[in-house]
Structure 1
């Protein structure tokens, strides 16, 4: 059986003694921000998949809107992390530093997410023409009737990327903008009434999304701080509210410094699958069979149990990451440890070395164990919650 790491209080003290001295490694730099121009760049980076974040952390201007406008927490996480992956095509993780979007103000984002209004609607809502900046199409349907057009644009997310010069000055060097698009439009005919839904065909969503991207870039160039920085803008397809896997980015483009012209659109070939599912069986049969064999062996440990669920991330046709959840009820801590040992062996047996796999074992009392096998690692990391 593979080595099992049980983290207890003694390990906390050990880690405290061995942990990197972040205070000595951090670097104080100059910025143009209002807080006297002081900021910190951590020199320690946990992975080359991430950017070092400018500190102190300042929330994005559109913070809070994402929770209201994104359908699920799965979409929310993927919208942020997927945009960061796309940024790496334009902004290297070694050279650039990350900051949540500060340039497109929250009030502007709220306005852009609205529908366009007719003159009569403006008057009815006691709004000025200058406030009529919505990017979603006008609804000309009568009150209580199905909307004349769906809302395509659900949310706008900005990420900022900064660079440091030889004098220690940090300046904005580029931005990425994510446009979350509805694949399903949810609406009500009356306040407090039933919720209806309308499927938006992918081709229609893509066409409208690219039109929206052109307009967002034009408006972004009217913001003083964004007049002359390169922009990467990407389109994200939201999943349904009932989905247990996230939607994905499906295309992105870049805009050169000072330009409003979009370069060619690049396809993003990423997708998430639920294991087990018919879609996974049809599109990735071998991976699906490997998971089902793993699931069957887990169920052999508890014959009356069948709750193993996996969420698989594909880049192209290659399975990159597999996150597995096993909710189960134990009657003692030693039983949980024995089960975790067993599952750890199954992970190493059933899944290829190149695949990153994480397994979360939970019960009604909360998390019980975490098993993590990184790609090409010969030994998994196992954490037993105390």
Structure 2
């Protein structure tokens, strides 16, 4: 099962959020209650596992972001999902699932986010992207570095309510800034180095933390900031978080930055050979030999510190018969057990133009796959 999807409760968790005073009030020492006094706040009772957060529920409803969609637009669905889920995973290092409850961000409003994402100018002094220098050539213009901002709030339970216990902020940074020299014209690309992306993100983090400290209700709670490196829009893999830092004790800046050594590799497109790639190619050959009319077999491999930690396999079919899907799913389970890496969580989705046909999953340490065929 996909680790840490956080209870499906963030069915949106769309990019950034807020309902607090956009002008920012004075900093308070005590975190504010998450709802008005006449609102009834509870939390979901069931927790699928210790890897998932329970969600805060207000008057029987999930409290969604009031500024969803405030973004320049992540360049692919792969990046969108990786950004949201990755920030949740990062948050668990600081806000444990047995103590904290999840709530979509409520402390930065859409007007603030939109201003941050624009270029800095005389009319928009709050812009976090550099001013337009008037250049049009890819290696001469000032690119847009910051693409999206995501806020997640982590609540703690009091005697009769919930209060803010911590905030996580994600900064999605462009590795390539796609632009047009004229409206509706051809697309051009300004490439951004890893080092420059990191430098810009770190400077932006301090400005955002300072804004939050001046926002009513935030107080001195811990604020974690993660820098996310987007993958190019033609990549089949989403980006990854590359650095994180935390502001504690009411500090208006983050502390020391920690490097996050993660990467995603698409099999069989990986440029470097490895045992994992060889085994996957053997698995792919066995699967394709079973039915000749497959559209593709790919996998997204997740590495931390150069160690493979999980894998997601996607198989697209061109057949739809129930008996065929059942037989094929059983065959895939057999070959996955034989060829795919042991001792890591693996998900396999078998789909067609009709949608998902079947699903297989194995947790870390298990030897057999759970399977489900959709009717």
Instruction: Give the number of aligned pairs.
Output: 340
Larger radius of gyration: 1
Distance 1:341 1:248 in 2: 33
Distance 1:267 1:346 in 2: 37
Q: CA deviation at 1:331?
A: 5.7
Segments of 5+ residues of structure 1 without an aligned counterpart are: 1-29, 123-130
Q: Once the two structures are superposed, what CA deviation does each residue of 1:48-79 show, in whole Å capped at 9, x if it has no partner?
A: 2221111121222331234x521111111111
Contact 2:300 2:311 in 1 (8 A): yes
Structure 1 partner of 2:184: 192
1:235-246 superposed matches below 5 A: 235-246=227-238
Structure 2 partner of 1:183: 175
Q: Please say which of residues 131-140 and 195-204 is displaced more in the overlay.
A: 131-140
Q: Once the two structures are superposed, what CA deviation does each residue of 1:217-266 show, in whole Å capped at 9, x if it has no partner?
A: 12221212223211101100011111110010000001112111321111
Match of 1:65 among 66, 70, 87: 70
Structure 1 partner of 2:269: 277
Q: CA deviation at 1:315?
A: 1.9
Contact 1:31 1:39 in 2 (8 A): no
Contact 1:325 1:361 in 2 (8 A): yes
Contact 2:282 2:339 in 1 (8 A): yes
Structure 1 partner of 2:302: 313
Residue 65 of structure 1 aligns to a residue in which SS? Answer: coil
Residue 379 of structure 1 aligns to a residue in which SS? Answer: coil
Q: CA deviation at 1:201?
A: 0.9
Contact 1:299 1:306 in 2 (8 A): no
Q: Once the two structures are superposed, what CA deviation does each residue of 1:13-67 show, in whole Å capped at 9, x if it has no partner?
A: xxxxxxxxxxxxxxxxx9441372311212311132221111121222331234x
Structure 1 partner of 2:17: none
Distance 2:292 2:259 in 1: 44
Match of 1:103 among 87, 101, 107: 107
Matched, 1:138 2:142: no
Q: Please say which of residues 318-327 and 230-239 is displaced more in the overlay.
A: 318-327
Matched, 1:39 2:41: yes
Q: CA deviation at 1:208?
A: 1.0
Root-mean-square deviation (CA, aligned residues, Å) is 1.9
Distance 2:302 2:110 in 1: 32
Match of 1:201 among 193, 198, 206: 193
Match of 1:369 among 358, 369, 375: 358
Distance 2:46 2:126 in 1: 42
Structure 2 partner of 1:89: 93
TM-score, structure 1 normalization: 0.83
Q: Which has the higher helix share?
A: 1
TM-score, structure 2 normalization: 0.86
- Structure-2 change in CA distance of 1:368 and 1:217 (3 Å): same
Segments of 5+ residues of structure 2 without an aligned counterpart are: 1-31
- Structure-2 change in CA distance of 1:157 and 1:305 (3 Å): closer
Residue 217 of structure 2 aligns to a residue in which SS? Answer: helix
Q: Please say which of residues 299-308 and 174-183 is displaced more in the overlay.
A: 299-308
Q: CA deviation at 1:193?
A: 1.3
1:1-386 superposed matches below 5 A: 31-34=33-36, 36-55=38-57, 56-66=61-71, 68-118=72-122, 122=123, 131-141=124-134, 148-165=141-158, 167-279=159-271, 281-282=272-273, 285-303=274-292, 305=294, 307-330=296-319, 332-386=321-375
Distance 1:306 1:138 in 2: 46
- Structure-2 change in CA distance of 1:306 and 1:189 (3 Å): closer
Residue 273 of structure 1 aligns to a residue in which SS? Answer: strand
